Amino acid sequence: MTYTARPLSDAVVRDADGRIIGPELKAEWAEYQAWAALGNTPAPANTLAKLKETALQALADRRWRAETGGISVNGSPVATDDKSQAKLVGA
């Protein structure tokens, strides 16, 4: 079992299922405390910069898929990949 720290909180995230574990969850918190007592430490929390970078990468990927995924015109598929876009611009 591994955990990741949460920023500005004493709670942690259990990596196996993404559940947030804090002192109010007695049994799970005790399990985490026992894990930590063995010398384990949670992975550091993601920084805002890392979260922003991940979000921007996801947005760039989504935009690329939208631009190159093709469209349908009157029921006929039209490719919109880079090669097809160049052909349309040159027409």
| Residue 22 belongs to some domain of the structure | yes
Residue 79 counted as domain residue? yes
Local confidence band at 75 (pLDDT 50, 70, 90 cut-offs)? very high
- pLDDT of residue 91 exceeding 80, the answer is no
Amino acid at residue number 16: A
Say if residue 57 is in the same domain as residue 25: no
Asked if residue 43 belongs to a domain, the reply is: no
How far apart, in whole angstroms, are the C-alpha atoms of residue 85 and residue 91? 10
**pLDDT higher at 89 or 4:** 4
Sign of the alpha-carbon torsion through 8, 10, 11, 15? positive
- The number of domains in the chain is 2
Residue 73 domain flag: yes
What confidence tier does 11 reach under pLDDT thresholds 50, 70, 90? very high
| 12-37 residue pLDDT tens | 999 999 999 999 999 999 999 999 99
The two three-digit tokens of residue 79, written as one number: 């490719």
In a domain, 42, yes or no: no
pLDDT at 2 over 80: yes
Residues 52, 27 share a domain: no
Its pTM stands at: 0.55
Residue 17's domain comprises 3-37
